[in-house]
Structure 1
Amino acid sequence: MTTPSQTVGPFLSIGLPWPDGPTVVPLDTPGAIRIVGTVFDGAGNTVPDALIETWQADPDGHFDHPDDPSGPLRKEFRAFGRCPTDVDGNYWILTLPPGAIPGQAPHIDVSVFARGLLNRVVTRIYFADDASDPVLSSVDPERRHTLIAQPTEDGYRFDIRLQGEGETVFFDV
């Protein structure tokens, strides 16, 4: 029998999501982008009970953190999103494109919680292969594509593969 002390899921759907969790900005925000994706397990099956959390800088490169001296966040920009996957393993986040922060390319930090994981896994969404970013450039070039979102009609697609062929690069934090 699985218990909460053995895995971080499937207990996530009980209390962690909230109705506007996926909307980092209001639906009618000019310039908003929609990031969609699917979470896959090691066998290539979709994960219907995962939880995706995002944290990012606003378009001006400001973080919602007391140690960020660069200024306040934009109005109506939460900087944090949370979306459970649906029965088909899909998630979405509505946000503004992140700005660059000193020494790093624009990116969104992502935590993934799912059944079978003892701890969350952490990755990043980048919007281009930017060799000037020290984190992205430290990743094996053969695997770097797993961190780069693909443009769509109304935003970007970022699938997450928890293990196996095409596994998303995760960081030890």
Structure 2
Amino acid sequence: CTPNFVDVQGVYSADLGVGPNADFDGNLRGADMSGERITITGKIYDGAGGLVTDAMVETWQTDAKGQYPAADAAFSGWARQACDLTTGVFTFQTIKPGCIATSTDRQSPHVSIWIVARGINLGLHTRIYFADEDNSADPVLALIEPSRRQTLIASQQGGAYVFNVRLQGENETVFFDL
């Protein structure tokens, strides 16, 4: 059996139209959408500290009221963005998600992300939490070692939330096995 291109590269291949520079829109914000408008930007680093410029990042989140699927018709809650091939930057224009209340707890506002790239056979799942929110009671963060929680928290810098992903090594981002 001889492996073909898709066997080697996975579903993240130029042949399937999901490669770098594909025309994906990282803008989740509709003109009539309610909620605080925010920008999330970041980069992905490999285990040696080098930029991963051929990654694709997918996001999904609640609307400003914490509802899935979004009750706000102007807001899809989902986007996909390829990293810039030169700078490695990904950027999403969105709204700040609301808290998710259940019958037993409350999850802090967060954005779920999924990352695929060359060499990543299965997509990586993680979350983006916000430094300016009270994350102390979040049941998912509570499951993570306190010293590692900071790898899931975006900081505000220059009008945007910055969330850098480290695939391996020191300060490796926490990934979830879903």
Question: Structure 1 residues 86, 33: closer, same or farther in 2, change over 3 A?
Answer: same
Question: Structure 1 residues 155, 28: closer, same or farther in 2, change over 3 A?
Answer: farther
The count of residues paired between Structure 1 and Structure 2 equals: 166
Larger Rg: 2
Q: TM-score, normalised by structure 2?
A: 0.83
Contact 1:8 1:114 survives alignment (8 Å): no
Distance, in Å, in 2 between the alignment partners of 1:11 and 1:147 is: 28
RCO comparison, higher one (Cα < 8 Å, 6+): 1
Question: Structure 1 residues 27, 114: closer, same or farther in 2, change over 3 A?
Answer: farther
* Runs (5+) with no aligned partner, structure 1: 65-71
Distance, in Å, in 1 between the alignment partners of 2:93 and 2:48 is: 29
Distance, in Å, in 2 between the alignment partners of 1:41 and 1:9 is: 20
Q: What residue number does 2:116 align with? A: 113
1:168 aligned residue (156, 173, 176): 173
1:81 aligned residue (79, 84, 90): 79
3-state SS of 1:142 partner: helix
Question: Structure 1 residues 59, 114: closer, same or farther in 2, change over 3 A?
Answer: same
Distance, in Å, in 2 between the alignment partners of 1:157 and 1:61 is: 22
Question: Percentage identity across aligned positions?
Answer: 38
* Runs (5+) with no aligned partner, structure 2: none
Deviation, structure 1 residue 14? 5.3
Deviation, structure 1 residue 155? 2.3
Greater shift after overlay, 84-93 or 22-31? 22-31
Give 1:84's aligned amino acid.
A
Distance, in Å, in 2 between the alignment partners of 1:12 and 1:123 is: 25
Give 1:60's aligned amino acid.
K
Deviation, structure 1 residue 74? 1.3
Question: Structure 1 residues 116, 20: closer, same or farther in 2, change over 3 A?
Answer: closer
Distance, in Å, in 1 between the alignment partners of 2:9 and 2:99 is: 35
Q: How does 1:26-41 map to 2 (within 5 A)?
A: 26=30, 31-41=36-46
Deviation, structure 1 residue 19? 3.8
